[in-house]
A and B are shown apart, each in its own frame.
Chain A
Amino acid sequence: MTSLTRLTFATAFAAGTILSGAALAQDDSVLVGQLADYTGPTSFVGKQYGPGVSDAFKQINADGGIDGTMVELDTVDYAYKVPEAIAQFKKWVGNDMVALQGWGTADTEALISFVARAEIPTVSASYSAHLTDPTGKNPTTKSPAPFNFFYGPSYSDACRALVQWAADDAKEKGIEKPTFVHTGDNHPYPNAPKEACGSYAEELGFNVAPPVVVPLAPGDFKAQCLTIKDTGANYVYMGNLGGSVVSLIKSCNTVGVDATYMGNPWAGDYQTVEAAEAQNLIFPSSTPFYGADVPGMELVKKIAENGGGQVGDRPTHHYIRGICSAYYMKEAMEWAKANGGIEGKNIRDGMYQKADWVPEGLEGVCSPSNWTTEDHRGLLKVTINSGTFKDGEAVIEKIAEIDVPRRDEWLGQ
């Protein structure tokens, strides 16, 4: 046993030396870190979005990289743990990372000041509106996020669009004063749109019930559903995703809640609709679905075919959003290379160069986006879908397209 223990220590240290000694950055390549959740509480969609990003970079490298410079993507499964994300970030910075593909809200928000200090532009899969005010122009912004970007409407804006849709829907159904309730874990990700969306619902004449805490880990949520039933909610916003959403819908059906469920950008896809056997699950999207008839779908299909094959032959729209995140970063890096070299600040400035920006080859897939030095709300157009489980499969149809107004007081909220 002793010799085994000694051997263990020796191997650990030897490996450590090798790891630290190996210089990762080569002349013709740049390091991009990717935080992914493949085993944590958000892995349900993490296993879709993460491969979207890594497959896209694989394709980018196959197509010649950033005008000849290869992207060395280091994907790390941090299991949705903030301390791990921070430790990993520090390690990457020590290895001269130039940009970061982030994941969750808790870690991306925790890293705001770190990425700003190290000048590492971050494209995250967290759509928290707290990441959209780069200069602190809005006095209510807690901390400005000058190096944070994401592709798609923020959680708050997506929820505002849903509420706007719900107001019309209620009018159509003849509900005089509909009730809106926010559900989700007490965690930065579900909490992000809580206040913003609630106050907009109030503005539109909803009766806003107190938020109900529903854990992010799936479970039996009948107690929460009874609370939701007591509020008389007509529209239930779900801030969680995956198994938790499935559990909530099933538990609430058992309890007999009669409401329309609306999810955030991660809470709805064909897999969730099928697992929950949901009827009329409302969810936003910012790309068309896999196989849609748009010119850019060809590249998406090519990426999926040449990719690591983790998503099977029918990826969800989360995978496609991952591709968009990667390609916006790629084009910003191209601009950086032509304007002083591929490094943090230049890549960030590269994000500001184009108006109504669609990455080349992804026409019709990624919606035209605008990032400016004072406003990181890239996309305000929200597509709203309804998913219904019919005859053993999910039928998803687009029911509305809403342009959320670019109000100054909503910046960073």
Chain B
Amino acid sequence: MAHVPNPRPTGDFRVSYAADRTLFKTKNETYFVIGGILLVALAPLFFGGYVLSQLILIGIYAIAALGLNVLTGMTGQISLGHGAFFGFGAFASAWIAGNGIPVMLAIPLAGMMTMAVGMIFGIPAARLKGLYLAIATLASQYILQDFFARADWFTGGTYGSLAETASFFGYALDSDASYLYLVLFWVIVSFVGVANLARTRDGRALVAVRDHYLSAEIMGINLTKYRILSFGISSFFAGIGGALYGHYLGFVSAEGFTILLSIEFLAMIIIGGLGSVSGSLLGAAFILLLPQAMEIFANAVATVVPAIAQGTAYIKQMSVGAAIILFLVLEPEGLVHRWRMMRASWKLYPFSH
């Protein structure tokens, strides 16, 4: 990653271990995050169903993208099967809840189950690297997809299965406004968890595996263990995201969890910023909102140039593709890097960096 100056002001030295261990680099950053959480928490007071549903979906996809970011961004392993793990979480939670366990418990349990499945499919990672690993994880995508279509007892087969409504001590979370808080809770738990993971011994070991696996091994890091662990963590968050998605829609059907979804997750973390915790959230928001923004753009163009009214659907699809390409060319390090640059230039003004 290109060099970005440290945002902390001159003279602000860390003089104690406690100061060195804070989660956020500056006070403003802390206020910013807390303010953001409060803003989302207050959103139901001001916004209608559409904005709330977008916030919920961004939260759900961000959790899953965060998981993939642990695997790809932090550990340097690629996975083309993340969408299938997301689906597994959704089916697992629907199945657990269907067997009489409260949804609130079913969600973390589904995360655990997905973690176990992810670790099994992560085993090839112990031996394979790069493109070969990509193809091996592609196999997990297809195996799970076929499993969804055939395991009637678990997924309801091709018909899919009903996912019960979540309830909190007897209060049904059946509206967007109430479900938003459940998603917000899991977003906070996941993001704080991963932000902390990056600072632990295990987290640093994952980064070492990514940066140079041979050196990492020489330093005593068990490559197999950490690669499989990384698959496990990544699948856990995919499972949590999937479970939240399933209970939000109320119905889980196999066709939603294809390779396309897996690639969308990859796009989210690449656009958001590989290895960045907050980048996962930005990337999820970008990928989710871009098609809708482009639809508005296409419709606006169509009102100016009525001749293309028939082709708005195509214009929308093509502009989504074009926006992604432009983005990758102009900002290959992701939204989070752009944000850091903006902050640095503002802090260091009038001196360039």
A residues neighboring B (CB under 8 Å): 1-2, 5, 8-9, 11-13, 15-17, 19-21, 39, 81-83, 86-87, 91, 94, 106, 109-111, 113-114, 186-188, 191
B149–A186 contact, CB under 8 A? yes
Q: How many residue pairs between the two chains, A and B, have CB atoms under 8 Å in the bound complex? A: 86
CA distance A94 to B48 in the complex (A): 10
B251–A110 contact, CB under 8 A? yes
Tell me how many residues of B have a C-beta within 8 Å of chain A.
35
A39–B48 contact, CB under 8 A? no
CA distance A13 to B289 in the complex (A): 9
4 residue pairs, one from A and one from B, having the closest CB atoms: A20-B48, A20-B50, A82-B253, A12-B293
A13–B49 contact, CB under 8 A? no
Give 5 A-B pairs besides A5-B338, A83-B253 with Cβ atoms closer than 8 angstroms: A12-B293, A15-B292, A15-B296, A82-B255, A91-B50
Query: Chain A residue with minimal CB distance to B256?
Result: A83
A83–B249 contact, CB under 8 A? yes
Q: How far is the CB of A304 from chain B (nearest CB, A)?
A: 19
CA distance A91 to B251 in the complex (A): 15
A19–B50 contact, CB under 8 A? yes
Q: List A contacts of B153 (CB < 8 A).
A: none
CA distance A13 to B285 in the complex (A): 11
Q: List A contacts of B296 (CB < 8 A).
A: 11-12, 15
CA distance A8 to B287 in the complex (A): 12
Q: List A contacts of B250 (CB < 8 A).
A: 86, 114
Q: Which residues of B10-54 are within 8 A (CB) of A? A: 47-51, 53-54
- Other-chain residue from B158, B251, B293 in contact with A188 (beta carbon distance below 8 A): B158
What are 22 residue pairs bridging A and B, where the CB atoms are less than 8 Å apart in the complex?
A1-B338, A2-B342, A5-B338, A8-B323, A9-B293, A12-B292, A17-B51, A20-B47, A20-B50, A81-B255, A82-B256, A83-B251, A83-B256, A86-B250, A86-B251, A91-B53, A94-B49, A106-B158, A110-B160, A114-B251, A186-B149, A188-B159
Q: Which residues of B128-159 are within 8 A (CB) of A? A: 149, 158-159
B338–A2 contact, CB under 8 A? yes
Q: How far is the CB of A143 from chain B (nearest CB, A)?
A: 9
Given A15-B296, A188-B158; A21-B249 close (CB under 8 Å) = no
Interface string of B249-284 (1 = CB under 8 A from A): 111010110000000000000000000000000000
B293–A106 contact, CB under 8 A? no
Interface string of B306-341 (1 = CB under 8 A from A): 000000010000000001001100110001001000
B162 at the interface (CB under 8 A from A): yes
Interface string of B96-134 (1 = CB under 8 A from A): 000000000000000000000000000000000000000
Q: How far is the CB of B126 from chain A (nearest CB, A)?
A: 34
Q: How far is the CB of B117 from chain A (nearest CB, A)?
A: 21
Q: List B contacts of A9 (CB < 8 A).
A: 285, 289, 293
Q: List A contacts of B253 (CB < 8 A).
A: 82-83, 106, 110
B158–A11 contact, CB under 8 A? no
B47–A17 contact, CB under 8 A? yes
Given A17-B51, A106-B255, A110-B253; A1-B331 close (CB under 8 Å) = yes
CA distance A81 to B254 in the complex (A): 10
CA distance A380 to B240 in the complex (A): 47
Q: How far is the CB of B159 from chain A (nearest CB, A)?
A: 5
B346 at the interface (CB under 8 A from A): no
Q: List B contacts of A114 (CB < 8 A).
A: 250-251
CA distance A13 to B53 in the complex (A): 12
CA distance A114 to B159 in the complex (A): 15
